[in-house]
Amino acid sequence: MKIATWNVNSLRTRLDHVTQWLTENPVDVLCLQETKVVDKDFPRSPLEDLGYHLYFSGQKSYNGVAILSRSPLESLSIGFSPVVGESIGDLDEQKRVISGALGDLRIVNLYVPNGSEVGSDKYQYKLRWLSVLRDYLQELLTETPHVLVCGDFNIAPEDRDIHNPVGRANHIMASIAEREALEKSVLSIGFIDIFRQFNPDPGQFSWWDYRAAAFVKNMGWRIDHHYLSANLVEKAIACTIDKTPRSWEKPSDHVPVVVELS
DNA sequence: ATGGCATCTAACAGATGA
């Protein structure tokens, strides 16, 4: 079974890329972020025609997440509050969390806040959001030991995940507090960054800035991830980054990351 | 280098992204 994650930076703008990629890579599940489309305008037919069931949570202009699955998902859950309760303030207003189950496997699709600049209000929001993510994932782990958490994390976990780590301690997506939050909310409760189980090398990225010809110079960041719960790691066969769509015309700035499970 | 580029909007400039 193959599961992919891809921040498409507007699903409607990238619809041809998504359908082309799915035609060439007929994964079982595709988790999308930054769909930027309200639910009533979600482009259903082109994706259903490829054989996918669609699950989505969108809003106008920003954010938005979706799961495309060849088999129907069970126990669909949108946002943090169905899992952690209503005491999370404004953290479900932005549509960043969707989850569903395939048998005993729970799949969680996340679009972690960007954070803008270190120390900004959006940065504090990102850290608050990650704090609630810990409660959310811990609760899910009590329900099933087989949890896959994927998405755009907007955090490069280590310096080898950045083309040039100089100044990263105060850089958004690599600051000390962000990495500590990722450690506390995901890694410390047993999740494994499965890409690094197969690929230890530097220079492997999932996002390249649109500016300064970053892609052709491979000046990227690895910020899109698949985390597997400890009980799922032994089922992992491969995890790969597909850079191909970044070279297509008018691409997303992110590319798909695919994990294969037995 | 507060640029460089892309996407969105009760748009045509400003917010957001990373």
* Residue-range domain boundaries for chain A: 2-261
Fold of A2-261: Deoxyribonuclease I; Chain A (3.60.10)
Using DSSP, state whether A202 is helix, strand or coil: coil
Q: What are phi and psi of A57, to 5 degrees?
A: -145, 105
Statement: the CB of A248 is under 7 Å from strand B: no
Give the pLDDT score at A226. Answer: 98
Question: Per the confidence metrics, is the pTM higher than 0.85?
Answer: yes
HEC profile for A10-74?
Answer: CCCCCHHHHHHHHHHCCCCEEEEECCCCCHHHCCHHHHHCCCCEEEEECCCCCCCEEEEECCCCE
**Among candidate residues A130, A131, A102, A111, the one with its CA nearest the CA of residue A28:** A102
Give the pLDDT score at A45. Answer: 98
> Which pLDDT tens digit goes with each residue over A140-193?
999 999 999 999 999 999 999 999 999 999 999 999 999 999 999 999 999 999
Statement: the CB of A95 is under 7 Å from strand B: no
Give the pLDDT score at A230. Answer: 96
Give the pLDDT score at A233. Answer: 98
Provide, in whole angstroms, the distance separating residue A26's CA from nucleotide B14's C1': 39
> Which pLDDT tens digit goes with each residue over A192-210?
999 999 999 999 999 999 9
Statement: the CB of A223 is under 7 Å from strand B: yes
User: Are A194 and A226 spatial neighbours (Cβ–Cβ below 8 Å)?
Assistant: yes
| C-alpha gyration radius of chain A | 17
Stretch (H or E) spanning A193: strand A192-193
- Which whole number is the average pLDDT over A48-76? 98
